Amino acid sequence: MTVASQVVGQMDTHPSSMTDVCLRAEGITKVFPGTIALENVDFNVYRGKVNVLVGENGAGKSTLMKILAGVEQATHGRVLLEGKEIHIKSPLDATRHGIGIIYQELTLCPNLTVDENIFLARELSSNGVFIDRKTQKKRTRELIRRLEQNIKPEAYVGDLRIGQQQIVEIAKALAQNIQILIMDEPTSALSVAEVQVLFKVIRELKANGVSIIYISHKLEELLQIGDYVTILRDGKLVCEAEASKIDVPWIIEKMVGRSPSKLFTRTEHKIGEVLMHIENMTLPRLGGGYVVDHVSFDVHAGEILGLYGLMGAGRSDLLDCLAGTCPLANGEVILNGKKLLTFTVTDRIRKGIVLIPENRQAEGLVPTLSVAHNMTLASLARYLSRFFISRKKEMAAVNGMIKDLRVRVTNPNQLITSLSGGNQQKVVVAKGLLTEPKVLLMDEPTRGIDVGAKSEIFEIMNNLALQGYGVVFVSSELKEILAMSDRILVMSKGKITGEFSHDEATEEKLVAASAIGHELVQVENNSNGGK
């Protein structure tokens, strides 16, 4: 804790050279109905540095960024650019001031191609009337190459995997001439290799004098790339520090307000009989080959099975097959010794296999429904009394889950969209749990949520394993998968290329297994997954 004491002294006085600050937010307060999202927060952006913003979900990071990007207006406070007060009333204003943003939730149009998305509202034109597709595609190709990816400019964004979409989002920001770039969770869907490429690009941008504001929940990553760290908690500024002078436990302590020793612990649990057996699961790829290539494995009762692999390795597709969302999937699912004969999601849920999907916004939630109604959507038949849903039974289930999973809500009837990412994720998990599953399939359950919520999700997984459920989870984060899994399967190119027990697994082994079948750095083209 010597580290901590060094920095504490720095907290009150502003870091020395004020001239280095190119953008400064002063006394920002933002009030939403029923909530104060930000309270008198100061935030400095240092020129040509990576300015990291950390905090738990609901700490106000995204709100602060939305204010800087012109999406939201501050209730009080001002923003100074190069010492002069500016008023950012719209995203267009922000771009005019040289501020660009890459959002946490992707904002691309799936019905448009990669180059159309990158130049959306800034279409290139040689004669002022028609779009110059040729130049657009050429510049897109250059940008994608800079990011060391192999995505075709004419591919439709909707056909890309989330990781690739994120790359496009980053390319879109690079295409604009910006001085300050806000990145809200840019790596949440990227593989290790892709993250390293992104970091290279960030360093390049820094060298060109671009200031980066960087938000992420991956703390090791923050210290690797960050120069300055600002920590928010409950809408208030906790402290600002230089990244070189602090370490991860210190950040966690500041963020959470408690010691990190209790996070990420795996409780020992007894592993039982085979609960589910998968035999020869196959999903053909449109245009030949397989997305999931004759995969067979077991899931035991009380086991947490981790699925690791690079983006596009077929992990998510495998879970989709098990959950019954792919009509083209072929293969046997044997649950408790009984072969499942039907293939719809409804039937799989009834039999006890439920999926917590990867993309919370697009697949996990119904944005027009309340927290309570989202939670009970998959298990409505359980609350019936004669023809009607019993409000009493339903609310009992909802309140029980809110308590068990510690979902932070003022009222179960509030709209789901008013919750923070971590709390939304807990609602999706609760929805799955309310179906009383036997096997829980979790696709990137901790994507884009904070340390506190993460450890709560892991706690839930531990509890389920203790109760004899089978948990299969996909994660791109090595540390998570190593810490949580009783057994790890590694996938590459649709096949299982490695199997490790908790004790024998190491980061090196997993990475090596995930690279089988890949000669170069992981490059994938757009046809993956068929979504």
Partner 1 sequence: MTSAKASVKPHRNIKIEIQNLLLRGRAFVALIIVVVVFSILSPSFLSGTNIVIMSKHVAINAILAIGMTFVILTGGIDLSVGSIVGLVAMIAGGMINEGFTIPALGVTVYPHTWMIVLISLIIGTVLGTITGLIIAKFNVAPFIATLGMMYIGRGFAGLRNNGLTFANLVGREEFGNTGFEVLGAGTFLSIPYSIWIMVIFSVIAYLVTMRTPFGRHVYALGGNERSANLSGVPINPTKVIVYAISGFCCAWVGLIVASQLVAAHPATGETYELSAIAAVVLGGTSLAGGRGNVGGTLIGAFVIGVLGDGLIMLGVSTFWQSVIKGAVILDQMQARMQESVALAQQQEK
User: Which residues contact partner 1 (rule: CB under 8 A)?
Assistant: 31-37, 57-63, 75, 234, 323, 325, 344-346, 348-350, 354-355, 357, 362-369, 373, 376-378, 380-381, 384, 387-389, 408-411, 414, 418-421, 423, 431, 435
- Minimum gap (Å) between residue 26 Cβ and partner 1: 19
- Residue 496 has which token pair? 């299982």
- Residue 346 has which token pair? 């409804």
The smaller minimum CB distance to partner 1, of residues 261 and 410, is found at 410
- Minimum gap (Å) between residue 390 Cβ and partner 1: 9
Closest CA to 502 of 472, 475, 481: 481
**Distance separating alpha carbons of residues 466 and 479, to the nearest angstrom:** 22
Cβ distance 291 to 530 under 8 Å?
A: yes
3-state secondary structure of 527: coil
Side chain identity, residue 50: V
- Minimum gap (Å) between residue 492 Cβ and partner 1: 26
- Minimum gap (Å) between residue 272 Cβ and partner 1: 26
CA distances from 258 to 209, 262, 321 (A): 37, 9, 41
* N- to C-terminal Cα separation, the chain: 48
The smaller minimum CB distance to partner 1, of residues 51 and 492, is found at 51
The smaller minimum CB distance to partner 1, of residues 336 and 414, is found at 414
- Minimum gap (Å) between residue 281 Cβ and partner 1: 18
- Minimum gap (Å) between residue 408 Cβ and partner 1: 5
Query: What is the per-residue burial (b if ≥16 Cβ within 10 Å, else e) of 463-486?
Result: ebbeebbbbbbbbbbbebbbebbb
Query: What is the per-residue burial (b if ≥16 Cβ within 10 Å, else e) of 31-56?
Result: eeeeeebbbebebbbbbbbbbbbbbb
**Distance separating alpha carbons of residues 255 and 196, to the nearest angstrom:** 26
The smaller minimum CB distance to partner 1, of residues 323 and 488, is found at 323
The smaller minimum CB distance to partner 1, of residues 49 and 348, is found at 348
- Which are the contacts of 26, defined by CB distance < 8 A and separation ≥ 6? 42, 77, 78, 79, 80
The smaller minimum CB distance to partner 1, of residues 265 and 385, is found at 385
- Minimum gap (Å) between residue 383 Cβ and partner 1: 8
The smaller minimum CB distance to partner 1, of residues 75 and 135, is found at 75
Cβ distance 339 to 520 under 8 Å?
A: no
- Minimum gap (Å) between residue 520 Cβ and partner 1: 34
The smaller minimum CB distance to partner 1, of residues 130 and 388, is found at 388
Q: Looking at the DSSP assignment, which residues form a beta bridge with residue 182?
A: 101, 213
